[in-house]
């Protein structure tokens, strides 16, 4: 598996779009710029500067699908022609009130219908914080409370709707403080809706040192209680935040102290899930070439078909195209995770993603190198 086949990796991009992508990857490597982004954004809005127009013409189309589901379909279909599937994520940072929760609930139902009507969209997805108050997710409210029951009702209704439309439903991971409640409720959903096939997927963040134990527990529970387990496996997205909260709260950080420990835990989890593929399904969200190589080799080693519908590779749209396109070209199931929503409301999400990306400078540096390599290759081909 050669992840430096740039002619395959960037066949989706024109020269103009590739150069634009290179510019923004370089900007995303500047920590000071990214960290001041939220402050600058508020200032620009206060001054009535055309922030939306600027984002819409620059960074938005490089990392997002569109302002709504319908407008995102062109990208979905274009990727589908390259053997790349899509997951459309409504990436609006919602408010913590019932109206916002209901709006998101309706949007997720619409995304389920949208997925059921498109061969290139096998999953729908949402975050628990988009449909529940923080007091519910931290366990401060009893299960009998109205707010908790509203949260549980939305979870059940979305899972039921996904099952009726034969669409897989991923429930994203949350902060350490919220995850215990989320785990408990998602286990109940899997027990109810994953009896005959895998509908509900949980998300496990392997930068947490307790997640290996949880993964083993979940697989054992599925075996004993006879249900299937869908697992979206990621490294994790709240590293600095979790460490800061642990320091302020004077408790042990839930995060591994080194990246090497996280990588080892993630790779071991991949092997654990594939070795239990009779009861598990895997959505491997990773931009790490070694992990992708390990998983692809293990798929072959265990005798699975490359396109076995129980195993998916996934990367964010606009990032790690060298991994996505090469894997898809080899016949594996590959998914691009595509944010969508009104430009103004998706900007905070993009800034947060940029902040995360700035902490993995090695990977963004590699991508810039590959883009330069491809642009040089195209220039040389035009000379011949």
The domain 50-354: what is its CATH number? 3.20.20.220
The gap from C-alpha 129 to its chain's centroid, in whole angstroms, comes to 15
Which of 151, 240, 254 has the alpha carbon at shortest distance from 209? 254
Mean pLDDT of 31-40: 63
Integer Cα distance of 381 and 48 in angstroms: 46
Tokens 């060298």 sit on residue: 322
Domain ranges of the chain: 50-354
Mean pLDDT of 155-164: 98
At 230-281, the pLDDT tens digits run: 999 999 977 888 888 899 989 999 999 999 999 999 999 999 999 999 999 9
Position 124 scores a pLDDT of 98
CA distances from 25 to 17, 222, 254, 287, 350 (A): 12, 42, 30, 15, 12
For residue 37, the surrounding DSSP H or E stretch is helix 37-46
For residue 86, the surrounding DSSP H or E stretch is strand 85-90
Tokens 């299937």 sit on residue: 228
CA distances from 348 to 37, 87, 102 (A): 9, 20, 21
Are the C-beta atoms of 326 and 305 separated by less than 8 Å?
no
Residue 357 has pLDDT above 60, yes or no: no
């Amino acid at each position: 598996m050669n992840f430096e086949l740039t002619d395959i990796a960037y066949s989706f991009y024109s020269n103009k779009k590739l150069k634009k992508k290179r510019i923004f990857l370089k900007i995303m490597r500047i920590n000071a710029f990214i960290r001041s982004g939220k402050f600058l954004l508020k200032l620009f809005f206060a001054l009535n500067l055309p922030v939306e127009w600027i984002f819409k013409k620059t960074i938005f189309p490089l990392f997002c699908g569109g302002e709504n589901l319908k407008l995102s379909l062109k990208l979905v279909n274009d990727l589908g022609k390259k053997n790349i599937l899509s997951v459309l994520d409504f990436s609006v940072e919602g408010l913590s009130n019932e109206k916002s929760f209901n709006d998101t609930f309706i949007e997720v139902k619409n995304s389920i219908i949208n997925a059921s009507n498109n061969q290139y969209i096998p999953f729908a997805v949402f975050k628990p914080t988009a449909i529940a108050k923080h007091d519910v997710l931290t366990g401060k409210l009893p299960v009998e409370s109205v707010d908790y029951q509203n949260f549980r009702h939305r979870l059940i209704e979305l899972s039921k709707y996904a099952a009726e439309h034969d669409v897989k439903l991923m429930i994203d991971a949350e902060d350490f403080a919220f995850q215990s409640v989320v785990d408990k409720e998602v286990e109940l959903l899997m027990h109810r809706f994953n009896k005959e096939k895998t509908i509900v997927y949980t998300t496990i963040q392997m930068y947490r040192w307790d997640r290996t134990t949880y993964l083993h527990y979940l697989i054992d529970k599925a075996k004993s209680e006879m249900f299937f387990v869908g697992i979206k496996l990621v490294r994790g997205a709240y590293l600095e935040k979790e460490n800061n909260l642990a320091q302020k709260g004077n408790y042990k950080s839930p995060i591994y102290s080194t990246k090497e420990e996280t990588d080892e835990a993630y790779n071991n989890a991949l092997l654990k899930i594939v070795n239990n593929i009779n009861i598990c399904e895997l959505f491997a969200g990773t931009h790490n070439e070694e992990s992708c190589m390990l998983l692809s080799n293990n798929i072959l080693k265990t005798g699975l078909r490359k396109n076995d519908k129980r195993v998916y590779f996934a990367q964010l749209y606009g990032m790690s195209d060298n991994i996505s396109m090469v894997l898809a070209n080899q016949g594996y199931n590959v998914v691009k995770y595509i944010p969508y929503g009104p430009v103004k409301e998706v900007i905070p999400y993009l800034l947060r993603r940029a902040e995360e990306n700035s902490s993995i400078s090695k990977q963004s540096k590699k991508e810039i190198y590959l883009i330069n390599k491809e642009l040089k290759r195209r220039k040389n081909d035009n000379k011949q």
